[in-house]
Chains A and B, each alone.
Chain A
Amino acid sequence: MGRLETLVSWEFNDIIKNILFLSGLVLLGMSMKRAIMYVGYVSGFASGAEIRLFGPSSASGTSGSIHGMLYLSDVWTLMGFLVLLLGALAFRYDRDSGVARSIYSLPYSNTEIFGVKLLSILVYSFLMVLLPFAYVTITSYASIAGYIPAITSNFLRDALILVAFLVLYLVAVATVVSLASPNAFLAFMVGFTVIYAPKILGLGSIPPALFTYALNRCGSTDFTPFTVQYLGWGIVVPLLLLGVSLFLVERRDVV
């Protein structure tokens, strides 16, 4: 095995992180599955000389319930919770338990160790939300599977971009808070406050509410995720926070 591969396989073999991933996968999947099990209806009206009544775009209920899985409040509450725990486990818990002293004294640069740990929590976080989403969509709509790309075409691309922004933001907050705080519990609690305070105070212009509202709205005609606000909170702020984290990793002693 190569040098970095050893490090990567260590990260992905951590038992606690894997148990966390398992519970996240199952809980998110089950909440998504339950969310689509309902009977609903809308009344509509069509008027004109030539009316196109049927087609994938008429399947508004199916499209709405697939879309709805991505902005369920359960999903993002759990995600916030689990990503923060992942961050605290990857960057802080090893230092609390003393394992970090042996790892950071190995012939790896701090940046390499940081990069691998960050990669592992990014992979865990994205899989935790996207894998159940794909699984539930594919199995629940197997009879109309051929039409799913057409049904979801109006929102799926924008929604996945917003999911990426939000996950990136959560991971960046978890990383910087874990590296800055003196123990894992505090890291989790401070991170939880940073992520949930804006939601509880009803600030819709700050993540996570910014992105969950946007996830709800995407698919409408005038919506695009490529505005200053979304790119700022979804790319620039996470990169800044990760830059601060890298600085902390390089400069701060492993204690």
Chain B
Amino acid sequence: MRRFVTVMLLGLLILTIGSLWIYSTYETKVGSVGPVFLQPIGKQGNVTDIAMVTFYTPTSSLVEASCNGNGVVEVHDAITGKLVNRESIYGHLTYQFVLPREGDYLVMNNGTGKLTCAFRFVRNYPTKDVQDAIYGLGTVFSLLLAVVVWRWRK
């Protein structure tokens, strides 16, 4: 069984290093979303109509937004609903904001006019939690591997 355990730990350790390599190559890979058309939130009586766009990003990202029209662009965390960024736009605006962690974000127009926005994900970094998980598990795998190999020698 010893070779099996060794190989399993070695494989997971290689995956750990491979993950770090993938993050380093993904760092400057520019992803883009849109252009998307954002209609304002509509209210008729007690019925609300919301048009929205859901982003997915695998890392924490620096996003460069370029918007045309009139309105207020709001970016919310899809799970908790926490407001990440709000920007009022009259005419044209290019601005940057940071998505704090990997996952999904809802983008909506909380203004009165219509908007067209394009988003470029210019920098992508794994969050501290992700780095902790990768380095922590990597440490555990390498220590276990060291123990197995050390006991093997005896």
Contacts and interface: CB of A to CB of B under 8 A. Distances in A.
Interface of A: 8-9, 12-15, 18-19, 21-22, 25-26, 29-30, 33-34, 36-49, 51, 53-56, 58-62, 64-65, 127, 131-132, 135-136, 138-145, 147
30 contacts: A13-B4, A19-B7, A21-B8, A25-B7, A26-B15, A37-B29, A39-B32, A40-B33, A40-B55, A43-B53, A47-B48, A47-B49, A49-B48, A53-B76, A54-B77, A58-B78, A58-B79, A60-B54, A60-B56, A60-B104, A61-B103, A64-B56, A135-B137, A139-B16, A139-B19, A139-B130, A141-B102, A142-B132, A143-B129, A145-B133
Interface residues of B, number: 58
Contacts of A42: 53-54
Contacts of B47: 47-49
A25 B103 contact: no
Given A29-B18, A41-B34, A49 B7 contact: no
A63 B104 CA distance: 9
A65 B11 CA distance: 23
Interface in B36-84: 36, 46-61, 76-81
Contact of A53 (B26, B33, B49, B50): B50
B153 interface: no
- Which 8 pairs from chain A and chain B are nearest by CB? A61-B56, A39-B31, A54-B81, A25-B11, A142-B133, A143-B101, A12-B4, A143-B129
Given A12-B3, A41-B54, A136-B15, 17 more contacts: A13-B1, A21-B8, A25-B11, A29-B15, A41-B36, A41-B55, A47-B49, A53-B50, A56-B79, A60-B104, A61-B57, A131-B11, A132-B15, A140-B130, A141-B102, A143-B103, A145-B129
Interface string B1-23: 11110111011101110110010
Given A25-B12, A43-B36, A141 B103 contact: yes
A135 B15 contact: yes
B52 A13 contact: no
B4 A39 contact: no
B15 A25 contact: yes
B134 interface: yes
A38 B31 contact: yes
Contacts of A19: 7
B102 A46 contact: no
A39 B16 CA distance: 22
A117 to B, nearest CB: 14
Nearest to B82: A54
Contacts of B106: 53-54, 58
B11 A62 contact: no
B116 interface: no
A200 B138 CA distance: 40
B7 A18 contact: yes
A12 B10 contact: no
Given A26-B14, A26-B15, A45-B49, A144 B103 contact: yes
A60 B57 CA distance: 11
A12 B8 CA distance: 11
Given A42-B54, A143-B127, A13 B3 contact: yes
A149 B79 CA distance: 13
A18 to B, nearest CB: 4
Contacts of A61: 54-57, 103-104
A44 B54 contact: yes
A11 B12 CA distance: 21
A39 B33 contact: yes
Given A48-B47, A49-B48, A54-B78, A40 B56 contact: yes
B7 A21 contact: yes
Given A12-B4, A60-B104, A33 B132 contact: no
A134 to B, nearest CB: 10
